[in-house]
Amino acid sequence: MKVTILGAGISGLATAWKLSGKQELEIIEKNSCIGGMASSYKYKDFSLDYGPHKIYTQLPGIMEDFKNLVKEDLMTIPKKNKIYVNGKFFDFPIKITQLATRLNPLIGAGCGLGMAESLIRKDKTKSYESYLKNNFGRGMYNLLFRDYALKVWGDPKELAEELAIKRIPVSGFADLIKGILFGVKKEQSAEHFYYPKNGIGTVCDRIVKQIEKNKGKILTKTKIEKINIQKNKVESITINKKKQKTNFLVSTIPVTDMVELIEPKPPEKVLNAAKRLKYRSLIVLTILVDKKKALDCNWIFFPSADIIFNRLSEQKSFSKFTCPEDKTALYVEMTCDYNDWRWNASDYDLFELVMRDLEKIGVLKREEVLEYFSKKARKVYPVYSIDYKKNLTTILDYLDTIDNLQTTGRQGLFNYNNMDHCIDMANKTAEHINNNKGKEEWKDLRKYFDSYKIVD
């Protein structure tokens, strides 16, 4: 059976890997390189990623996949995170000693009052904001969660509570205090992570070798024009104005893009639902630094509105082999809307805004900067708006009527997940196809995919 896969990011490649050797395979990728955001690139003496990546999982069997791919080049890295709150750096997860001695007493009192208020008065709107206020109190919400949501995803009043459930490693203030007093549970935060010696792109590079070994084909710089449906089946796809037959189509490209390729056109309600699903874009400003080390941790979160970036990380803290011994590289992440002022800003303007804040927090001096440049990606973060589930269900219900088509992966299922989840989804997608299972089993799998939680 010929299987065609759209997209050569981590989800598409991993699905192809697990199908290869059992099915005839062809992967179609519009860009010139593979791996998507989970890839690396060479720049002078540096091996750089598209922002920080780590390998860690609690899903059964997935760590074995990573180890089988990366082998002896997979390193164990002690994890150290920080968070910048109210002008100070705190370890993350937060320690009780730091809270007690370094947080402004008035802010601490406000957090306590907010928590007491939340026990009495509950907000029933089922939003990101209401969930966190109900579980952490107004003070803690304003301090740690509100502005970070505004930076990364948008107005927290308009975001679904599923986002908070998926992204916040503890379910409320009581869990937070338990973690502070007795240690964070392993299912909430890890003490270490894994990382390939020469960059995260090693994972996808090794997958490609497995696919090619099993006679799979990867077409880059190739754009699909149409998905042709006949009698509730994908009959062919159109590339370069030519139809190409396939027995099964797996899409890992954004589901909003995929439905627009279908001919004849899906019902209007499906197309409208796709238009209502939103993504945020990502800008990663990479700064090459003339010093051995810039941070004493892997990455730092910046939840407050007075700092333009969301997160700061150092490539050398993941692997010393990716940078020259006397130099390092910082990744500065800024989330934005596509085509807004940040997206359209020059590298010079972005750097000036970022440098102002880096100097303010005491991380970097201007004279230590060697050079800088940005990498931008459009549809990176699925936005879990209040009505996203309804719109996504409308789309998926329609796609379920097409017998030999599946949409999967982070982008294909609008599922906010990590690399390990993408591998798990790929494994289960391939197993589903190899065993010729039906749509009802696929619906059950989607429910399982929805249960993923992010482990920091």
In whole angstroms, give the CA distance from residue 134 to residue 175: 13
**Residues 26, 41, 27, CA angle at the centre, nearest 5°?**
5
pLDDT of residue 182: 41
What is the full DSSP assignment across 362-376? TS--GGGEEEEEEEE
Q: Taking all residues of the chain, what is their mean pLDDT, rounded to a whole number?
A: 91
Q: Which CATH class is domain 2-36+199-277+385-450?
A: alpha beta
pLDDT mean over 22-42: 95
3-class DSSP state of 13: helix
Residue spans per domain, the chain: 2-36+199-277+385-450, 94-182
pLDDT of residue 134: 85
pLDDT at 287 over 60: yes
In whole angstroms, give the CA distance from residue 345 to residue 292: 30
* Range name among 142-156, 246-260, 275-289, 325-339 with the lowest pLDDT average: 142-156
pLDDT mean over 346-363: 97
Q: Can you state the angle between helices 419-434 and 439-450, rounded to 10 degrees? A: 170
CA 95 → CA 77, 143, 175, 439, distances in Å? 21, 16, 13, 47
Task: Name the amino acid, one letter, at 22.
Answer: K
Q: pLDDT tens-digit profile of 403-450? A: 999 999 999 999 989 999 999 999 999 999 999 999 999 999 999 999
pLDDT mean over 100-115: 62
pLDDT at 294 over 90: yes
Q: pLDDT tens-digit profile of 173-222? A: 455 544 444 444 544 457 899 999 999 999 999 999 999 999 999 999 99
3-state helix, strand, coil in the chain (%, to 5): 40, 25, 35
Q: Can you state the angle between helices 419-434 and 10-19, rounded to 10 degrees? A: 40
Cis check: omega of the bond before 303, within 30 degrees of 0 = no
Instruction: Count other Cβ atoms within 10 Å, centred on residue 158.
Output: 16
Report phi then psi at 347, rounded to 5.
Answer: -60, -35
DSSP state of 73: G
Q: Are strands 369-382 and 279-289 parallel, antiparallel or unpaired?
A: antiparallel
pTM given for the model: 0.90
In whole angstroms, give the CA distance from residue 130 to residue 152: 18
CA 158 → CA 25, 71, 175, 383, 441, distances in Å? 41, 44, 25, 10, 32
* 162 contact partners, CB below 8 Å, separation of at least 6: 384, 389
Reported as a pLDDT band with limits 50, 70 and 90, residue 51 is: confident
Instruction: Name 394's bridge partners.
Output: none
Q: pLDDT tens-digit profile of 68-85? A: 999 999 999 999 999 998
Report long-range pairs for 83-91 (Cβ below 8 Å, ≥24 apart): 83/144, 83/300, 83/301, 83/302, 83/303, 84/300, 84/301, 84/302, 84/303, 84/304, 84/307, 84/361, 85/143, 85/144, 85/303, 85/304, 86/143, 86/304, 89/300
In whole angstroms, give the CA distance from residue 426 to residue 449: 11
pLDDT of residue 170: 55
Scanning the structure block, which residue is given the tokens 């240690």? 183
Residue 98 or 405, more confident: 405
pLDDT at 94 over 90: no
What percent of the chain is modeled with pLDDT above 70?
A: 89
In whole angstroms, give the CA distance from residue 10 to residue 203: 9
In whole angstroms, give the CA distance from residue 139 to residue 96: 17
3-class DSSP state of 131: helix
* Range name among 177-191, 310-324, 384-398 with the lowest pLDDT average: 177-191
248: nearest Cα among 9, 11, 22, 14: 22
Report phi then psi at 218, rounded to 5.
Answer: -125, 120
Residue 165 CB-half CA count within 13 A: 11
pLDDT at 37 over 70: yes
pLDDT of residue 105: 65
Instruction: Name 299's bridge partners.
Output: 81, 313
In whole angstroms, give the CA distance from residue 126 to residue 132: 10
pLDDT of residue 228: 98
Q: In what order do the strands lie in the sheet with 88-92?
A: 88-92, 81-85, 299-301, 311-314, 328-336, 279-289, 369-382
pLDDT of residue 123: 65
Cis check: omega of the bond before 264, within 30 degrees of 0 = yes
DSSP state of 448: H
pLDDT mean over 12-34: 96
Scanning the structure block, which residue is given the tokens 């109190």? 137
384: nearest Cα among 156, 194, 136: 156
